Chains A and B, each alone.
Chain A
Amino acid sequence: MPEMPDPADGQNRAIGDDDAGFVARCRRGDTDAFAVLVRRHQKKMLNIAYRMIGDYDEACDVVQEAFLSAWRAIGKFRGEARFSTWLCGIVLNHARSHMTQKAARSRREAWSLDDPVKSKDGSLLKEPSSREESVLERLEKREAKVQECIGALDNEQREVLVLRDIQGFSYEEIGGMLKLPEGTVKSRLFRARSALKDGLLSVFGDLK
């Protein structure tokens, strides 16, 4: 069971939050209020989980579990950070835990033919295009490769990259979620960007 992030660690000041009223109703056991929160945040949480895990179905499962954990722990949420930030921390914890389990499972099982092929230095190898592709197919393939490159980053770098460059959280919010100082978040993000650039170059050859 992934641990619940403590919102107080991230921000010690009260934050204006549109979700506060619904959160208060949830604390009294109002499931309809929680349904509103699920409706509001499900897409963002699913995208974070998907970019972290790289598998859509698994991301759905993780988000479902994360919402259930949030419901169980809503009494502990003190409203010192945004509800979305707190929820995002729960999703990240579940995603991390899922990836750890998956890595342990894949170590036991034989490697799959579908896995991205890596060269000796660990970089992903280029795939030769076999036939003429439509623009949409090319775009999908491109996105899949970018996702593969994101997946090739180590967990810490991937987290900050997804939260900052894909989800647009502030450094302060990311620091709160990951319990890290802002400076550490920034340096980790810059390393992640450099590593991603190298990964993309090795996959695409040229980023023009």
Chain B
Amino acid sequence: MTCNEVDNLLPAYREDLLSSEERKSIAGHLASCSRCSHAFADLKRADDLVRGLGEVEPPPFFEQRIMARVREEAGRKQGILRRLFYPPHIKVPIQALATILIAVLGFYVYQQGDPEMKQIVPLPMPRTEIGGDQGKAASPQAPTDSSAVAPGQRSPALDFPDVNRQQFAAPPLEKGGKADRTKELPAPAVESHPSAMKSAAAVRTEAVDKVQGRAGEQQNARGPETSPPERKYKDKSADSGAAAEASKKMMFTPAPSQSMPAGAVKESAIDLTIQVRDVSAAIGEIEAHLRQANARIIEKQRREGGVLLKAEMAAPDVDAFLDRLKAIGRVKLEKNPLAVTDGKVTISIMIVGNP
């Protein structure tokens, strides 16, 4: 065994952790090698020095210092729970009661708020081919409040004066709609609220009167007492008979009803598209021409690809107005009823930009 090997094994030899053979071999080497025996003695002395190191004492109040921090920590933990639930026999029932109360109150508020929500939320637009008077006046869900008009379809620039908005806030008629979807519409919320129904019906009747130009007494007498609007619509459709069927073929053409009193002013509709370079400039010009023709703008709506302007004017002024329109842009008549010489004409002008 070399001195190096012995030197490595000396600590284990000192701990008596070697086999008897190794132990004998090392003991023999130590007896003959003074260098290794000296190293072994140094190892023992080094161990003694380490083991002889004195112990340090904790500083005064060391335990108290530690415990102060431990108690602070323990107090903080307990403090949160204590503040929340102590004393439990008082605080826990109060907290439970408060939770139930909040839940009940929340439910009550939700229940109360529900009908209002129904009124505020814009109703689906009826898609119908029926003439202007039915579309506007008889559409059962026509909201009377201006807020019922879908906000996304309106822009501040296109807002009507308040009076017009209130009277003609009924959803616009969509061109090209084939099916009469009025029946698909959900029953109006006003059904369960007689007062609301009454007011809605009153405003609706007023709109009908303005359009048709007949006295409001008859409608007012019917309005509040009538059953739900869809039934009213059905009645009306049934009453109108063949004349109404014929009128459906022509968009925006008012349906001459049997119930219409004799001598009522005839009303026709013209549907046209005008292609212009600058839509917003053209709107201004067209509105100016309409004013010049003593027409009344009844609807103004931004549509996909342009703006729909609906106005009502005396039939004799129509030709002159159409001529002026041709000066603004390229006019294309979509629907043109038979030449109307008297009464009022509703003109739907779709203003589109040049492609």
Contacts and interface: CB of A to CB of B under 8 A. Distances in A.
A86 interface: no
A68 B70 contact: yes
A39 B50 contact: no
A34 B67 CA distance: 8
Contacts of A59: 56
Interface stretch (B40-48, B107-115, B149-157, B242-250): B40-48
Interface stretch (B57-65, B268-276, B296-304): B57-65
B66 interface: yes
Nearest to A70: B70
B240 to A, nearest CB: 84
Interface string B48-80: 011101111111001101110111011001100
Contacts of A51: 53
Interface of B: 7-8, 10-12, 15, 17, 39, 41-43, 45-47, 49-51, 53-59, 62-63, 65-67, 69-71, 73-74, 77-78
A201 to B, nearest CB: 6
14 contacts: A60-B59, A64-B62, A71-B74, A146-B49, A150-B50, A161-B50, A166-B51, A190-B12, A190-B15, A193-B43, A193-B47, A197-B42, A207-B41, A207-B45
Q: Is the interface of B mostly helix, strand, loop or mixed?
A: helix
B67 A38 contact: yes
B73 A71 contact: yes
A50 interface: yes
Interface in A1-57: 29, 31, 34-35, 38-39, 42-43, 46-47, 50-51, 56
Given A31-B67, A31-B74, A165-B47, A60 B42 contact: no
Contacts of B49: 142, 146, 200, 207
Q: Interface residues of A: mostly helix, strand, loop or mixed?
A: helix
A117 to B, nearest CB: 20
- Give the interface residue-count category, chain A: 35 or more
B128 to A, nearest CB: 73
Given A47-B56, A166-B50, A64 B45 contact: no
A43 B47 contact: no
Contacts of B69: 64, 68
B58 A60 contact: yes
A181 B248 CA distance: 97
B107 to A, nearest CB: 41
A165 B70 contact: no
A95 to B, nearest CB: 14
A207 B56 contact: no
Given A34-B67, A34-B70, A67-B70, A194 B58 contact: no
